[in-house]
């Protein structure tokens, strides 16, 4: 039996814990056993209650914000719920009761006009604003600088399918529409986005755009930045409708300047995005490869072919061993022992899926793959959003656990994987905490692929500092290898320094020029993306 992604509910995540609070994950006995092998046998300290600082906005400013028509709250619970995101450091700070960078108010506009009015108010009064949507950032994207009062501009009331062009297969969605809600609205007309990041339950259309989200079907439907054909951007200089045509030779593609801009250039209020008919057929398979080298060579061959699957994912030996492709059964054995599990999926109409399935199956067999049938594929599909749910119980159990990701060209993949693994295990090993580092490839291109790492070690007394060492080592290894600091988690504040080094002075000059021109008073997410 297969479940439809479109039946997944919209979830308001609990502050400080990932995902649907009604559907937490428990650690299996075999995972607990694995933790013991890493020396993890002491549960984390109980969380400390959050201490929310007083708002720095005076009554006059709060009145001006309320005069825009948007709802304004300085309530502790509202501010705590927009405090940071879901990186492990974010969660550790929550557990430590640290709410020192809570926004000074939460402002909830219900229309694009109210967004513009709030922005104008902030611009005129020097109040910083940080757009909030899914709230699922793992790179500090909700932590602007604190030199001035900051509001959290909660866009989750800007929801809905504003237009659907069935001929062109384009949906216009309000930026705050959560992905499951977008799929529900589109399914009423027979369409879907097919965009499934692991944050699917909470993430929004606007958030996916400004952070360049990549979903699990990226080889089939493209990254979110590939799917966007237009955006509405509210800036202190006015409103821009960006994107006139699918593609154009009319100058630079300025959609690609807003995609990935993380709220630093303006607030995206609506997104025009490519959709496709709800597939009549969905087939997901498991394949076994003897090792990561053979599996990644097969991934590359498929990525460079003209006929592609809809989903393609490869776990390395360590991730395959822990069965992370099937989080509900993590740590339990399934399939051949050793080697690497690949997931291959097809979605479309029957003739299309038959055509691609036949071609891809023949190629994978030629490339040394052993078919495992539909069961591992369907297990992966059922658990596709569950991976991050493992983190909180692991942290509870006294583990330090975090993920990081990067992207490079194919010729650099093996070196990058080795270098990042060595950097992280080295940095944690030096602190006396040997680590397990697992890796998967879940996004491929003709010229390269992403690498996604999951790290588990015993948590020390100061796990924030402990992880800080590992993350710095990983960042340095990624830069030294010439890879990009992030494939789909974005820059936020956590990756900012490495990002600026990656792009260099000329490109920083260009970005700063755009920032200064569109946001002359520097109120838009200050410190995010650019210092």
138 binds a second copy (CB under 8 A): no
Binding residues among 29-58 for a second copy as defined by CB under 8 A: none
Instruction: Please choose, out of 123-131, 284-292, 351-359, 373-381, the segment that lies near a second copy by the rule CB under 8 A.
Output: 351-359
Q: Is 387 helix (H, G, I), strand (E, B) or coil?
A: helix
- Rounded to a whole number of angstroms, the minimum distance from the CB of residue 342 to a second copy is 19
The reply on whether position 334 binds a second copy by CB under 8 A is: no
Minimum distance from CB of 58 to a second copy (Å)?
31
Q: Which is nearer to a second copy, 3 or 248 (CB)?
A: 248
Among 106, 170, 267, 294, binds a second copy (CB under 8 A): 170
User: Would you say 181 is a known binding-site residue?
Assistant: no
Question: H or E element: which one contains 469?
Answer: helix 463-480
Select from 9, 75, 147, 165 the one that contacts a second copy (CB under 8 A). Answer: 165
Residue 283 found at the interface with a second copy (CB under 8 A):
no
Q: State residue 421 phi and psi, 5-degree precision.
A: -60, -45
Q: Do the annotations mark residue 263 as ligand-binding?
A: yes
Distance (Å, rounded) from C-alpha 33 to C-alpha 52?
38
Known catalytic residue at 499: no
- 440: tokens are 């998967």
Judged by CB under 8 A, how many residues of this single chain contact a second copy?
A: 98
Q: Which residues contact 397 (CB under 8 A, 6 or more apart)?
A: 27, 32, 35, 40, 43, 44
Could you tell me the smallest distance in angstroms from the CB atom of residue 521 to a second copy? Answer: 15
Site map for a second copy, 188-217, x if CB under 8 A?
-----------------------xxxx---
Contact yes or no for 258/233 (Cβ under 8 A): yes
- Asked if 497 interacts with a second copy (CB under 8 A), we say no
224 is in an annotated binding site: no
Is residue 306 within the footprint of a second copy (CB under 8 A)? yes
Beta bridge partners of 340: 289
Any contact of residue 531 with a second copy (CB under 8 A)? no
Under rule CB under 8 A, residue 348 binds a second copy? yes
Question: Which residues on adjacent β-strands are paired with residue 231?
Answer: 242, 271
- Determine if 445 is a binding residue for a second copy (CB under 8 A): yes
For the segment 214-233, give every residue that binds a second copy (CB under 8 A): 214, 220, 223, 225, 229, 233
Least spacing, CB of residue 175 vs a second copy, in Å: 17
Q: Are 316 and 292 in contact (CB under 8 A)?
A: yes
The residue from 86, 221, 452, 499 that is catalytic is 452
The one segment of 17-25, 67-75, 250-258, 281-289 that binds a second copy by CB under 8 A? 250-258
Identify which of residues 77 and 351 has a Cβ nearer to a second copy in the complex: 351
307 counts as binding a second copy under rule CB under 8 A: yes
Nearer to a second copy, 382 or 501 (CB): 501
Q: Closer to a second copy at the Cβ: 287 or 499?
A: 499
Residue 267 assigned as binding residue? yes
What is the per-residue DSSP string for 264-325?
SS-EEEEEEEE-EEPPSEEEEEEEEESSHHHHHHHHHHHHTSSS--SEEEEE-HHHHHHTTT
Tokens standing for 513? Answer: 């020029």
Tell me: is residue 262 an annotated ligand-binding position: yes
Decide if residue 265 touches a second copy (CB under 8 A).
Answer: yes
- How far does CA 245 lie from the centroid of its chain? 27
Instruction: Identify which of 281, 345, 282 has the alpha carbon closest to the alpha carbon of residue 311.
Output: 345
Q: Which one, 214 or 524, has the nearer CB to a second copy? A: 214
Confirm or reject binding of residue 251 to a second copy (CB under 8 A).
yes
Task: Return the number of the residue (37 or 249) whose C-beta is nearest a second copy.
Answer: 249
Q: How far is 1 from 216, CA to CA, in rounded Å?
A: 20
Residues 6+ apart with CB under 8 A from 356: 307, 308, 309, 346, 348
> How far apart are the C-alpha atoms of 227 and 230, rounded to whole Å?
9
3-state secondary structure of 116: helix
DSSP 130-165: EEESS---SSSTT----SS-EEEEE-TTS-SEEEEE
Binding-site residues sit at 262-268, 391
Binding residues for substrate: 391
The residues assigned a catalytic role are 452
Binding-site annotation, residues for FAD = 262-268
């Amino acid at each position: 039996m297969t479940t439809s992604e479109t039946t997944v509910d919209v979830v308001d995540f609990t502050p400080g814990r990932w995902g649907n609070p009604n559907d937490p994950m428990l650690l299996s006995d075999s995972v607990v056993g694995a933790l013991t092998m890493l020396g993890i046998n002491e549960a984390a300290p109980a969380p400390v209650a959050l201490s929310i600082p007083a708002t720095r906005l005076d009554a006059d400013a709060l009145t001006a914000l309320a005069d825009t028509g948007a709802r304004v709250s300085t309530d502790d619970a509202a501010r705590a719920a927009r405090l940071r995101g879901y990186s492990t450091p974010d969660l550790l700070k929550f557990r430590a009761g640290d709410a020192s960078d809570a926004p000074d108010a939460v402002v909830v506009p219900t229309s694009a006009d109210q967004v513009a009015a709030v922005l104008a108010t902030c611009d005129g009064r020097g109040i910083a604003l940080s757009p909030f949507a899914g709230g699922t950032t793992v790179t500090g994207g909700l932590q602007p600088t604190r030199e001035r009062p900051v509001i959290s501009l909660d866009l989750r009331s800007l929801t809905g399918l504003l237009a659907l062009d069935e001929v062109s297969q384009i949906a216009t969605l309000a930026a705050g529409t959560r992905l499951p809600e977008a799929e529900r609205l589109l399914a009423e007309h027979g369409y879907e986005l097919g965009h499934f990041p692991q944050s699917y339950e909470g993430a929004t259309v606007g958030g996916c755009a400004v952070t360049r989200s990549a979903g699990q079907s990226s080889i089939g439907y493209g990254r979110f930045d590939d799917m966007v054909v237009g955006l509405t951007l509210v800036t202190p200089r006015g409103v821009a409708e960006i994107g006139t045509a699918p593609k154009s030779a009319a100058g630079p593609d300025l959609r690609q300047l807003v995609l990935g801009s993380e709220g630093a250039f303006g607030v995206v209020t609506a997104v025009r995005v490519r959709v496709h008919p709800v597939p009549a057929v969905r087939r997901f398979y498991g394949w076994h490869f003897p090792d990561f080298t053979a599996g990644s060579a097969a991934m590359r061959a498929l990525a460079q072919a003209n006929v592609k699957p809809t989903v393609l994912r490869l776990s390395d030996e360590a991730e395959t061993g822990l069965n992370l492709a099937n989080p509900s059964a993590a740590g339990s054995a399934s399939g051949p022992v050793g080697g690497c599990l690949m997931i291959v999926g097809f979605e479309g109409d029957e003739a299309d899926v038959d055509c691609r399935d036949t071609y891809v199956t023949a190629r994978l067999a030629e490339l040394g793959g052993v078919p495992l049938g539909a069961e591992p594929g369907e297990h992966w599909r059922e658990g596709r959003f569950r991976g991050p749910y493992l983190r909180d119980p692991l942290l509870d159990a006294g583990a330090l656990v975090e993920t990081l990701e990067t992207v490079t060209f194919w010729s650099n993949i093996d070196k990058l994987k080795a270098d990042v693994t060595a950097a992280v295990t080295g940095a944690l090993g030096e602190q006396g905490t040997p680590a397990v580092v697992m890796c998967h490839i879940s996004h491929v291109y003709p010229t390269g692929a992403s690498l996604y790492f999951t790290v588990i070690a015993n948590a020390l007394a100061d796990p924030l500092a402990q992880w800080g060492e590992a993350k710095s080592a990983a960042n340095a290894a990624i830069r030294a290898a010439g890879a990009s600091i992030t494939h789909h988690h974005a820059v936020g504040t956590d990756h900012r320094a490495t990002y600026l080094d990656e792009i260099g002075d000329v490109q920083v000059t260009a970005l700063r020029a755009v920032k200064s021109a569109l946001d002359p008073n520097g109120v838009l997410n200050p410190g995010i993306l650019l210092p």
